[in-house]
Structure 1
Amino acid sequence: MSRTDVTHDPAARCWVPGAQAHPDFPVQNLPLGIFSPPGGEARGGVAIGDHILDLAAVAPLLEGQAATAAALGRQGTLNALLSAGSEALRALRHGLFALLTDPAREAAAQAALHRASDCTLHLPVAVSEYTDFYSGIHHAVNVGKLFRPDAPLLPNYKFVPIGYHGRASSVRVSGGDVLRPRGQVKAPDADMPMFGPCRRLDYEMEMAVWIGSGNAPGQPIPIGGASGHVAGLSILNDWSARDIQAWEYQPLGPFLAKNFHTSVSPWIVTMDALAPFRTAQPPRPEGDPAPLPYLLDEADQAAGAFGVTMEVHILTAAMRAAGLPPHRLSRGSMTAMYWTIAQLVAHHSSNGCNLRTGDLLGTGTLSGEMAESRGSLLELSEGGRQPIALPGGEQRTFLEDGDELIMTAFAQAPGFARIGFGECRGRIAPAP
């Protein structure tokens, strides 16, 4: 499990203009991504302030394992770098931190620095598999109450980390249009279903978990070592067609309601960067069962949760036309997870399933206990029965064409620099 060290020093000063006390990307963060500079090919980079540092270009300025890891950044995905493992990522972090905090090395590294606004960001990894979990217990209760008021949680929820296999091919990087999906829906009072554009399009406020090193088939990952298989975290928006989902989900669960588009933010915040923000897993309510032994580790319970705050804002077409700022819909925390990230990884591999570099795990919607922390419109509008008031006199129960969703996330703790995850955006476009 990663620990704090010199790279987390809040007093460290970086020579990159604008990086000092940057709300997302100070030198204490150094998240990894894939970018294209103007006229250049996609390659690995590190976000620093409002700039991007070309990994392969600075490899000659580094030494040992850090130089070897940085050289892997010349590829168009981060898969090779993430597969090198946590020690390689840690060495790279330390090498970059030393480079960026040494004014004497500024001139040598300056040519590898690009303005982020001039660059194009890409999906950071080639996603091999995508699994979305259901670890947000408040979301599970809120949604369950809409359909089963007297028994919102099914009996297995507190024993088994629930998840489903999503569609890796439709995972896309933040930005651009989200095409309204078409599908089969059936109104409660209708005799027959109909096929057409989704009318109850929703977002889900989640975090993305990126697998670094995997496991061999038939060799489960033990809970005590599970966190070492995670390279880092990003923001994830699990776009959901609620009317399609309501008709199709029984008996096998989500299908076309979920596989049309999944957005992730472009920067992977490494587990080492997140070390200061680890916290104890919240205790289970009295009467809840303890996790089975293969999911229970004392160190994971003591520091396996993360103090990461997530926010969702909406910007409608009318708000853009009127020059209004985005309006916040949700604000929640990763501590809403009933299961830790390590528990998700251990359970996923417990039957012998082999996880691979680039596998993506979604946490599930991380709603909190309070109404303002509900992580989806399904919850905020109580199933569409209570419209949400927006600036300018508009209302929403679900997303309309032209609406843009902006998700952000950050971590902060006393004695450490705040770090962020950037943005995860998407604008709803009409069904084709």
Structure 2
Amino acid sequence: MGGSTALLTDRYELTMVDAALRDGTAHRRCVFELFGRRLPGARRFGVVGGTGRLLSLIRDFRFGDDELRYLRDEMVVDAATLDFLEGYRFTGSVTGYREGELYFPGSPILTIEGTFAEAVVLETLALSVLNHDSAVATAAARMSIAAGDRPLAEMGSRRAAEASAVAAARAAYIAGFGATSNLEAGRCWGIPTMGTAAHAWTLLHDTEEDAFRAQIEALGVDTTLLVDTYDIRTGVETAIRVAGTGLGGVRLDSGDLPTVAAEVRIQLDELGATGTRITVTSDLDEYAIAALAASPVDAYGVGTSVVTGSGTPTAGMVYKLVARQDSDGGWVAVAKASTDKGSKGGRKAAFRTLDAGTATSELIVVSDGFEELETGAAHPDARPLQVPLVVDGEPDAAYEGASGVQAARAHHSRVREELPVRGLALSRSDPAIPTVYTDVAPNR
């Protein structure tokens, strides 16, 4: 996004730092964890989205003159805290799930270790990015499953805030969509872009035929013509008469899509346009896509539903302190104990147990002490889920930029193959696999 990201945060993050600097606890080493207590919308799995974006935003988390001036003028913190923020750099570590990975209730998606002051201020930014992008990625993955081998294009920019639209296009692409209508997403993240014409193009011309001829002249015969501005049957006939039987495609944006698509397919075939593809784009979500599985549809364009998480616009993740040093330098596991908002303290290592390549559980090993967890040898039949994302304050560039998006997309495609069959269902239910906690002895 360019510029400082330091004020993309909540006021209480900085007032806590201010108070902690006063009472001497600001420099205690702490471990924070970002996770979801449950899956959004009672879905079978979640998809981690936004990690690469977050790493880039952490790079820019600096308090410059403008940010410090605002905090001073608004009297958010005192002079000593302003001095601390002026030199702020995150120097700690972040480990977590790779972007595109599946997650389940309790999965330690991110583990952030550093001093209290440098780690707590990342809370709002981390949640803002991952809650939005993971909600979109999860919805997109469900749509991708429903679509099967048929291509999906994201075209929901006009249904989201401008920056959110770019982030949504990125998350959808990682989770299985093949293209976006958003040019900024194409420029920033290397996502293929698509799009030809809207109804305004047809309405601009004196006749539908004039509009089709002009579009073909500009874009070639392989273009897709929007045939439902007026009468669909007439539009299809005009499209093939103008373009010939080699027309690339027609798009339907209204009507009862299963019925209309079947009628259009019959008409195209009767006209000899057996290779002309049918794309549908009318208020689709995963359920509508699934309902079209038996219809002669070749591709889908999805707008509002995917960029808003298909009814679940946030993943509901939280950012909690799970361990800290005490006044003597020893480590203490800590956790919120609320009945419905409790969490599990201690450093965690996460694994996906597999049986013949199919996921069977989310295995989370918890340390009551704070030793480094060396659990790989103890769980040889499980896939480790966490990787270093930030080391000594330096984000791993491999997960950022357009190359990071491609890597996340490929990773998601691989790990989705591990889902058990029940994980592919669209109905509300329990997670596809259980989350299993196990303790590691403190003296390991």
TM-score above 0.5: no
TM-score with structure 2 length normalisation? 0.22
| Structure 1 length-normalised TM | 0.22
Larger Rg over CA atoms: 2
Q: Which has the higher strand share?
A: 1
